[in-house]
Amino acid sequence: MAEAVRRYAVVTGANKGVGFGTVKQLASKGVVVVLTARDEKRGLEALEKLKDFGISDLVVFHQLDVTDSASAAVLADFVKTQFGKLDILVNNAAINGSIINPEAFISAATAKLSDSPRIINVSTGAAKLMNFPNGWPKEVLSDAGTLTEERIDSVLNGFLEDSKQGLQDTKIWPPVFPPYTVSKAALNAYTRILAKKYPNFCINCGSPGFVKTDMSFNAGILTIDEGAESIVRLALLPNGSSTGLYFSPKEVAPF
């Protein structure tokens, strides 16, 4: 493939699970992928595993902890220096109970962008707003027209405050995996803001489905490759495709 049409991707949390599967499939389609992991040893071991698939020439490792904006800045610099542009960002890293730092991942994406970049925020059906009880957090996150970063922050801060005071069980927060669900719902809402702000990007949320990984305690019904397929499909949407949507896993679904 001519260097001019090469596409470059960053996948976060890619040393295992859906992230690893996404790297594998993107590289097998000719995309140059930066496999990132917070732990260098785990990242390099994952890179080693890709040798079995004959695609390791298209994959490089770089450390990234998505909760550490300094490490995102170093990665952004690496992408800029090595490739001069970024076409695809798959914001995949997560833990149960963690709140993703949006600044960290977006700063990686804005190193320098291609003409029509793709950003895929890997989400989950659990974070759908129908799973939120009625109350002000659901109202704020549902009202796409008035969503702002400040309003999302107010939900996250409200949740943190209630958690500190042991009030997570009040009727306004989702009952299942509250920190995970609230942080993913915030990420979904943030996706809608970003999609509006950058209309020439293609920025969507995608759920991989219920996948057998460490996060699901291997209880999922899909293999890692099957889960990654939905994410890769979003990453490779043609120019001018839909943006600001939620895919669960392959169809557009309500937030």
Which residues are catalytically annotated? 180
Single out the segment in contact with ligand NDP by CB under 6 A; choices: 63-71, 133-141, 161-169, 192-200: 63-71
Cα 71–Cα 76–Cα 78 angle in degrees, nearest 5: 95
Angle between helices 17-28 and 40-50 (to 10 degrees): 40
Q: In angstroms, what is the minimal distance from the CB of 16 to ligand NDP?
A: 5
Q: Looking at 10, 11, 17, 23, which residue binds ligand NDP (CB under 6 A)?
A: 17
Does position 102 interact with ligand NDP (CB under 6 A)? The reply is no
Looking only at residues 184 through 203 of this chain, which bind ligand NDP when binding is defined by CB under 6 A?
none
d(CA 22, CA 227): 9
Nearest Cα residue to 105 out of 61, 79, 78, 67: 67
Does position 67 interact with ligand NDP (CB under 6 A)? The reply is yes
Single out the segment in contact with ligand NDP by CB under 6 A; choices: 143-151, 170-178, 192-200, 214-222: 214-222
Residue 148, burial from CB neighbour count under 10 angstroms (0-12, 13-18, 19+)? exposed
Nearest Cα residue to 72 out of 99, 36, 117: 36
Q: Which is nearer to ligand NDP, 18 or 108 (CB)?
A: 18
Tokens of 67: 């909760």
Does position 163 interact with ligand NDP (CB under 6 A)? The reply is no
Does position 183 interact with ligand NDP (CB under 6 A)? The reply is no
Nearest Cα residue to 92 out of 173, 208, 216: 208
Q: In angstroms, what is the minimal distance from the CB of 230 to ligand NDP?
A: 10
Tokens of 205: 């949320």
Q: Which is nearer to ligand NDP, 123 or 243 (CB)?
A: 123
Q: Which is nearer to ligand NDP, 101 or 154 (CB)?
A: 101
Q: Quick check: helix, strand or coil at residue 153? A: helix
| Matching residue, tokens 């798959």 | 90
Q: In angstroms, what is the minimal distance from the CB of 129 to ligand NDP?
A: 16
How many chain residues touch ligand NDP (CB under 6 A)? 30
Does position 12 interact with ligand NDP (CB under 6 A)? The reply is yes
Q: Which is nearer to ligand NDP, 98 or 170 (CB)?
A: 98
Does position 230 interact with ligand NDP (CB under 6 A)? The reply is no
Does position 205 interact with ligand NDP (CB under 6 A)? The reply is no
Does position 65 interact with ligand NDP (CB under 6 A)? The reply is yes
Instruction: Find how far residue 225's CA is from the centre of its chain.
Output: 17
Kindly give the pairing relationship between strand 59-63 and strand 32-37: parallel
